């Protein structure tokens, strides 16, 4: 069985997760802009990862386009964003970004991200400000984490590395299934 990780990253946090997954599984890793003529149909399992900005998953268009050719593959998708891990929110993100085929064939995972205050543009800074000031329904722990990231005191991705384990376990499960066939 062969597997690959394809990712896109803005601040580097999705890349960090993608590297952890690829290293743990000892599989190939490609950034979205590196896949060029890569034939994804040669892989049995494809892990896609992308950041979420304002409810949009950056890699969704590619996955939606490719899924008809990959229907017989194991597709895993992980998103990385600032929102606390929440099943209702995440289902909304998946439905809004991925077509019916992806929703039926894909295994979805939500991972926690962080900000890089030095790289943030005006729009992202405004979003963080809005979450802290207006998003009162968001847990105090999340707001505290956002405040810590704006002062570059913590790296949420390192804090949440264990979140990749279910993805690694799922790929290994598919590998075991393939070896039994």
pLDDT at 180: 84
DSSP state, 33? G
Entry field: residues in the chain: 181
| Domains parsed from the chain with CATH numbers | 3-114+157-180 (3.40.50.360), 116-154 (no CATH)
pLDDT of residue 179: 84
Find the DSSP H helices in the chain.
13-25, 60-66, 87-97, 100-105, 122-133, 140-150, 156-159, 165-180
- Spatial separation of the C-alpha atoms in residues 142 and 147, rounded to whole Å: 9
Instruction: Calculate the dihedral angle through the C-alpha atoms of 80, 19, 109, 52, rounding to the nearest 10 degrees.
Output: 20
Six-digit token string for 74: 């194991």
Of 149, 150, 148, 128, the residue nearest 138 (C-alpha): 128
What pTM was estimated for this model as a whole? 0.82
Quote the Cα angle for 178-17-34, to 5°: 80
Q: Decide: 64 and 98 in contact? Cβ < 8 Å.
A: yes
Q: pLDDT tens, position by position, for the chain (181 residues)?
A: 699 999 999 878 899 999 999 999 999 999 998 988 889 999 999 999 999 987 889 899 999 999 999 989 999 999 998 776 778 888 889 999 999 999 998 999 999 877 666 666 776 667 666 666 665 555 555 555 555 555 554 565 567 788 899 999 999 999 998 888 7
């Amino acid at each position: 069985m062969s597997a690959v990780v394809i990712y896109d990253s803005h601040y580097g946090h999705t890349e960090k997760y993608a590297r952890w997954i690829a290293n743990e599984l000892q599989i190939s890793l490609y950034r979205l802009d590196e896949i060029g003529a890569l034939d994804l149909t040669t892989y049995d399992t494809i892990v896609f990862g992308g950041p979420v900005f304002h409810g949009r998953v950056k890699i969704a268009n590619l996955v939606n386009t490719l899924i008809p050719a990959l229907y017989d593959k194991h597709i895993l998708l992980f998103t990385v964003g600032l929102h606390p891990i929440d099943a209702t929110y995440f289902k909304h993100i998946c439905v809004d970004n991925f077509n019916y085929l992806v929703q039926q064939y894909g295994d979805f995972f939500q991972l926690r991200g962080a900000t890089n205050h030095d790289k943030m543009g005006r729009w992202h800074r405004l979003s963080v400000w809005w979450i802290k000031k207006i998003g009162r329904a968001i847990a105090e722990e999340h707001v505290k984490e956002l405040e810590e990231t704006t002062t570059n005191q913590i790296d949420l991705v390192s804090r949440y590395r264990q979140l990749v384990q279910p993805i690694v376990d799922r790929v290994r499960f598919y590998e075991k299934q393939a070896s039994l066939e």
